[in-house]
Amino acid sequence: MALNMDAIGKMIGPISREYTWKDAALYALGVGAGFDELEYCYEKDLKVIPSFSIAAIFDFLSHIGVQSNVNLAGILHGEQELIFHNPIPPEGKLTTQGKIINYYDKGPGKGALVVGESETFHSNGKKLFTSRLTIFSRLDGGFGGENAPKKEIMFPNREPDFVVEGSPSKDQPLIYRLSGDVFPLHVDPEFAKMSGFQMPIMHGLCTHGYACRALIKSLIPGQPEKVRRFDCRFSKTLYPGKSIKTLIWKIEEGKALWKTVNAETGDTVIDFGVFEYGDVKEEKIMFDGRVAIITGAGGGLGRVYALDLAKRGAKIVVNDFGGTRDGSGQGASGPADKVVEEIKALGGSAIANYDNVATIEGGKNIVKSAIDAFGKVDILINNAGILRDKSFIKMEKENWDSVLNVHLNGAYYVTQPAFAVMKENGYGRIIMTTSAAGLFGNFGQTNYSAAKMGLLGLMNTLKIEGAKYNIKVNAIAPVAASRLTEDVFPPDLLPQVKPELVSPMVIYLCSEKCPVNGNIYNAGMGAFSRASVVTGPGTVIKKDSGYPTVEDIVSNIDRISSIKDAKEYWQLNDLVGDIVTVFSAPKTEAPKPKEQAKAEPTQKTGFDSVKSVFENMPKAFNADSAKGIDVVFQYVISGTSGGEWHCIVKEGTCTVKTGVHDKPTTILKIGDANFLDMMNGKTTPMQAYTSGKLKIEGDIMKSQLIQKIFKIN
């Protein structure tokens, strides 16, 4: 099967993983740490070995394999470069996003290289590391691509400054694989032999971890937080139980070259090592090359956002209709022009736009101005607003419509064309401006409050639709002096409610470093906090005699209304799923006796049984794709709804039968639930295989024909 050329440049992720100190300590044990390096293994003042990073994002690595369509039977980790921006905390949530950046062809029979790059952020908002990895695929060469540029490192012609010995045990892969890399090559003797090895081999990344420990111990003892770069090439396999030596040459302050060798044979197992270290440099958030649209930027908050982004390198479209506070009048160019002049005086780049966000034409023209002047849109801050306050009884339809047209419809009119550009480019940051009036209510502002809460609904769906295109949508609820609030705050309070005290949060949410999506932040007077919609656990009222009554609600209203242990939901389906789960099996319900328990259906959509998959397999058969193919696939499905089936593909025909074939070409073993997840598209065959859920015996390479000749998903 050929490499997927269309995968180059397409965004993968975001992929998230939560971890605790136990994961970091287990990794440390897996790469040989122990009582002599207790800081890596004991939760008290725990420090994380930097090479833990690549184990922590192993799921992302499997996505590189899936997207590239690499041949599983011949893959090895080729090269790995890690750039560390901040120390890895002992627990938290990691979010990784990246892409395949190139394929290199070493020639027929010589293999291919798949190069992927990613960035990982911590839930604390900091970028932790950048990974650039190369997968060596022995069976995918000869596709006509360019060869990889030659990489050479000249080691000093002298003895190394440090030699650190390591003694991985014969069981080392069994410990290391618990950190995520459960590929059978490192544990299954039969699989290893089919892949051309005498026995299961060491994970290259396990040896990599031994080397990382050795470098820290020699150059920055006890200070893993100072590691800045860790780069190498995996040269030769190593069998468990073989001693290793890491040879280190310090070539200048903050930089060393290294390699790891088999202590018995002298063979180099990891080569071309580069290790850089030093204090973390403060990273200034910059927007060089980014293009930002700010609506209502002729004064107040919008003006400050525009100036702050411009100071950090962004090109700005300053939009302002130039109307009055209530949105009336013919508009004016003065406010926008003045801000553009300020930006240019600072050495920045900006243009003015005077369109009204409250019209669909205005929204399109604002985005068109950005494209015409700067070629793209990366950032949109929906800031434009007006006020027409009146109590609800006195609220005329004109005042209602005018406020919703600017705040809510205006955000729609501008965001839709901007979102299309961002989707095409695979990047975007969108800010909605909500308000405490929308979150909590405010007398005399029904129109304003409704519009501001409506913006959160818009945000909540856009965060889902934009996630896979690296478009993040968040909301700010500012408390600041502006044209809309100039008569709200007493004069002595005005210095404390300057827009400059809100802007840092907005600038952060506009940045590449922003890891959050779909969040609401209060900001004002230098204080910042997150607001959220949460759902209480509630209670289930079940009556054998029929539906709950109003009286049942009265009896249970305290439990229904409680928000103790409340929960956030990412999307509607998550809430519905919880409701269905709670209703079908409430926590207070006693468990059924084992003899009465019945297996619940694994799937609610798609294939609902293992049997139905095999019944439909002939219908999914593509005879044209099966020309010249002669194979027998044997399926061994474990579990209560499992069984044994075999599929015979020969001379463009497909025959599916129950039972065991006497001479199968390829045997696939998997549990019933995991099989249905795979058939219903919830997991891919690659993910099932690399996670150990799917085991393949016999001719492994022939298993890849299944996706070619069957169109099940």
Provide, rounded to the nearest whole percent, the portion of the chain with pLDDT above 70: 91
Taking alpha carbons only, the member of 254, 258, 248, 257 closest to residue 280 is 254
Active site residues: 448
Average pLDDT over residues 138-167: 88
Mean pLDDT of the residues in the chain = 88
- Work out the average pLDDT over 529-538: 91
In tens, the pLDDT along 328-383 reads 777 788 999 999 999 999 999 999 999 999 999 999 999 999 999 999 999 999 99
pTM of the model: 0.58
> Is CATH 3.30.1050.10 the classification given to domain 610-709?
yes
Q: Looking at the predicted structure, is the pLDDT value of residue 708 above 90?
A: no
User: How does DSSP assign 21-74, residue by residue?
Assistant: HHHHHHHHHHTT--GGGGGGT-STT----TTHHHHHTHHHHHHHHHHHT--GGG
Whether 327 has a pLDDT exceeding 80, the answer reads no
pLDDT in tens, 657-668: 998 898 898 889
- Kindly tell me the burial class for residue 8, based on how many C-beta atoms sit within 10 Å of its own C-beta (0-12, 13-18, 19 or more): middle
More confident: 475 or 124: 475
CB-count burial class (<10 Å; 0-12, 13-18, 19+) for 297: buried
For tokens 């002729």, what's the residue? 298
State the CATH architecture for 5-277. Answer: Roll (3.10)
Per-residue model confidence (pLDDT) at position 268: 96
Q: CA 613: distance to chain centroid?
A: 31
95, 121 Cβ separation under 8 angstroms: yes
As a whole number of angstroms, the distance between CA 593 and CA 595 comes to: 5
For 291-531, CATH gives 3.40.50.720
What pLDDT was estimated at residue 78? 85
Q: What is the mean pLDDT of residues 223-247?
A: 95
**What is the pLDDT at residue 597?**
38
Residue 594 is predicted with a pLDDT of: 40
The pLDDT assigned to 492 comes to 64
Alpha-carbon gap, residue 478 to 523, rounded angstroms: 5
Classify burial at 422, counting beta carbons within 10 Å of its beta carbon; exposed 0-12, middle 13-18, buried 19 or more.
buried
Which of 489 and 637 is assigned the larger pLDDT?
637
- pLDDT of 698 reads 77
How much is the pLDDT for 422? 97
Average pLDDT, stretch 83-89? 95
Instruction: Please tell me whether residue 18 adopts helix, strand or coil conformation.
Output: strand
Which tokens is 380 given? Answer: 């949109």
The letter for the amino acid at 520 is I
Q: Express each pLDDT in 298-322 by its tens digit.
A: 999 999 999 999 999 999 999 999 8
Is the predicted pLDDT of residue 573 greater than 90, yes or no? no
pLDDT score at 128 = 94
pLDDT over 90 for what percent of the chain?
A: 58
Backbone phi and psi for residue 256, each to the nearest 5 degrees, phi listed first: -145, 155
Strand partners, 112: 105, 137
How confident is residue 73, by pLDDT bands cut at 50, 70 and 90? Answer: low
Which pLDDT belongs to residue 584? 45
**Which whole number is the average pLDDT over 478-501?**
69
Mean pLDDT of 213-229: 96
Structure tokens at 336: 């926008």
433-451 pLDDT, tens digit per residue, is 999 999 999 999 999 999 9
With beta carbons less than 8 A apart as the criterion, state whether 78 and 223 touch.
no
Structure tokens at 61: 């690595």
- Three-class SS of 615-632: HHCHHHECHHHHCCCEEE
Residue 278: per-residue pLDDT = 94
Which strand (E) or helix (H) includes residue 528?
strand 527-531
Q: Which range (131-135, 260-264, 337-341) has the least confidence?
A: 131-135
Asked if residue 602 has pLDDT above 80, the reply is: no
Res 707: pLDDT: 73
Host H or E run for residue 523: strand 520-524
Q: Identify the pLDDT of residue 96.
A: 92
Average pLDDT over residues 515-539: 91
CA 597 vs CA 9, 592, 593, 642: distances in Å = 49, 6, 6, 18
Q: Where are the domains of the chain?
A: 5-277, 291-531, 610-709
d(CA 323, CA 177): 64
Q: Is the pLDDT of residue 600 over 60?
A: no
- For the stretch 389-424, pLDDT in tens is 999 999 999 999 999 999 999 999 999 999 999 999
> pLDDT at residue 501 above 80?
yes
β-bridge partners, 195 = none
Question: How would residue 82 be classed by pLDDT, with cut points 50, 70 and 90?
Answer: very high
